[in-house]
Chains A and B, each alone.
Chain A
Amino acid sequence: MLGASLKEDVNQAEPQEEKRRFVLLTRLKQNKVAFFSLWFLLIVHFVVFVGPVLWPLSPDELTDVGALAPWTLQHPFGTDDLGRDVFARMLHGGRVTLLVGLCAMLFSLIIGTIIGACAGFFGKVVESILMRITEAMMAIPNFFFVLVALTVLGTTPVMVVVVIALTGWVEIARVVYGETLKWKEYEFVEAANAAGASARRILLKYVVPQILPSIIVSGTLAIAWAILTESAISYLGLGIQPPTPTWGNMLQNSQQYIWTAPILGVLPGVAITIVVLAYNFLGDGLRDALDPRFAKK
């Protein structure tokens, strides 16, 4: 399948790559769900990054209304099991969760792009080594290793980000590899090659810009994946640890209150779900917008 579509694209003589990037946003606008998701995400990010500055209560400090207090104007989501303001914790937790997602995504993008682009561009031995590694990574049920690594090495935020990124780059590497293979056949790349430009220059100047849209799509989906993974490892108690709130560890903590205060688990659960949902819709929308075949239909 990959082979077939590849050939098809190479046959289209003139690359419309210049237009492509600008067209992206216009096409995205036609996809209402994706466009709405984009706006929604912008708002959510604004709220969790700016909100904590505006909301006067600290996520750690104990309020004077006691534990598990009901929803009031002063504490819109009540207080948690220890008597802290849930609204403040949701804001701060969102900030940490989204930051972890963004950092892990960036980190996986860097690894994935380097490996994918090198494998695709240099071919031969480099290609076979890098792609074997990629395949091996795909074949391992990596959650087993994530679990062991985080248990024994500890769960600092940096470690959490690194471990998520180390298991998340594989998809990206495959996409970038495929795209690089495609683009290196184009005349302008070959011309640059003939003109004696260095490999690094060709990669950075000619190839990477062409595959940037695909990278953006992968990145969008990678954030969704990273946020979900963070919450999953939090469930096992291996995510970022309290008192630093994250939606994941708030959700995990709520588990023991499933009998007495189930609402504690609903808020972070819904928050994670809709943010991941929005990222997935956005990613799908971007992918469709990039693919002329889909866009036409």
Chain B
Amino acid sequence: MVRFLLNRFGQSIILLFIVTVITFFLINLAPGGPNGVMRMDASPEERQAMIERLGLDEPVIIRYFEWVGSALQGDLGTSFNSSEAVVQRIADRLPYTIELTVFTIIFSVAAGIILGVMSALKRGKATDHVINFSSVIGLSVPSFWLGLMLILLFSVELGWLPSSGVGPRGADFEFGGWLSHLAMPVLILSTTVLPNIVRFTRSSMLEVISQNYIRTARSKGAKEFVVLYVHSLRNALIPIISIIGVLIPRLLSGAVITEAIFGWTGIGTLIIEAANGRDYPLIMGITVVITLVVIVSNLVVDVVYSQVDPRVKNLA
């Protein structure tokens, strides 16, 4: 286990290094610059003053190493466009993205398992076909379009759900308002992973059902309910833990669009803002943090998986 973790750690460092190098040089060598420098009515003198202030007159390679140096000490620099610490800006926004993705995972896993099991148990029947068909539709609809249609229906026509924002927070927090703001974003984001979970549950359930011990349990006269839950589902669920690890990067990618549609002020809307404003330190900061989030969550999934599944435990 320790070796496995060390190995993972080494790979993560390399991954982070490659990701930061590519991003840093990409953004710095591309045309355009930070908003302050690129203000349309700024005079050449104002522009030059900003370039010097932001340290953009130094060669890119030197700036990269300076950035790495302070990043290693936990300092991701100061956002060009707001003069706040990058760490602070990310810390302000990341919780919203985590909230959105965690609730999406909970919803998708719950709905996915229910639908997947239903589909497996009714294999070949109408229910199975409907669920399969819907999964493929879910995979095929552009999620932002579906989002707009939902807004059109629930916000514009019916006026049931707010079209945008994360709802009142802090002192004004109130459960109904929170849930109504969360409902559509979670639904839309779940279309990026729900179909996969349904399909995966279905096939893993089918596999388990056909195994000998289930037949044994059945022939021993165990109740259908017990067979289904105690024996089949538990074993079918183990692989689903592993698929969550695979789906996390996809969820975070999907979160960018989802947040943009619903004005969800998470890290996805922040990266859009940062990219448009050429906020180099902020782009770098988000890149590092999002890569770390994926690395850590995958690690957690692996560790949990190895604890649950004895076969993997032995391998590690």
Using CB atoms and an 8 Å cutoff, list the residues of chain A in contact with chain B.
Answer: 1, 132, 136, 138-145, 147-149, 151-153, 224, 228, 231-232, 235-236, 248, 251, 255, 258-259, 262, 265, 269, 272-274, 276-277, 280-281, 284
Q: How far is the CA of A280 from the CA of B275 in the complex (A)?
A: 32
Can you give 20 A-B contacts (C-beta < 8 A)? A136-B18, A139-B295, A140-B15, A141-B248, A141-B253, A143-B252, A144-B252, A144-B271, A148-B23, A151-B276, A152-B30, A152-B31, A152-B32, A152-B278, A232-B143, A235-B260, A255-B148, A258-B152, A265-B145, A277-B136
Using CB atoms and an 8 Å cutoff, list the residues of chain B in contact with chain A.
Answer: 11, 15, 18-19, 22-23, 26-27, 30-32, 136-137, 139-145, 148-149, 151-152, 156, 239, 246, 248-254, 256-257, 260-261, 271-272, 275-276, 278, 283, 286-287, 290-291, 294-295, 298
How close is A136's CB to chain B, nearest CB, in angstroms?
5
4 nearest A-B pairs in the assembled complex, by CB-CB distance: A143-B253, A152-B30, A141-B252, A276-B140
In the complex where A152-B30, A277-B137 touch, is A142 in contact with B253 (Cβ < 8 A)?
Answer: yes
B148: A residues at CB distance < 8 A: 255, 258, 265
Structural contact, B298 and A277, CB atoms closer than 8 A: no
How close is A101's CB to chain B, nearest CB, in angstroms?
13
A143: B residues at CB distance < 8 A: 252-254, 256-257
Structural contact, B275 and A147, CB atoms closer than 8 A: yes
Q: Which of A139, A142, A147, A232 contacts B142 (CB 8 A)?
A: A232
- Chain A interface, DSSP helix/strand/loop, else mixed: helix
How close is B81's CB to chain A, nearest CB, in angstroms?
14
B248: A residues at CB distance < 8 A: 141
A232: B residues at CB distance < 8 A: 142-144, 257
Q: Residue on B with the closest CB to A274?
A: B140
How close is A276's CB to chain B, nearest CB, in angstroms?
4
Q: Which of B11, B18, B140, B287 contacts A228 (CB 8 A)?
A: B140
With A152-B278, A276-B140 given, name 6 new contacts (CB 8 A).
A148-B23, A153-B26, A236-B272, A258-B151, A259-B156, A274-B140
Structural contact, B294 and A140, CB atoms closer than 8 A: yes
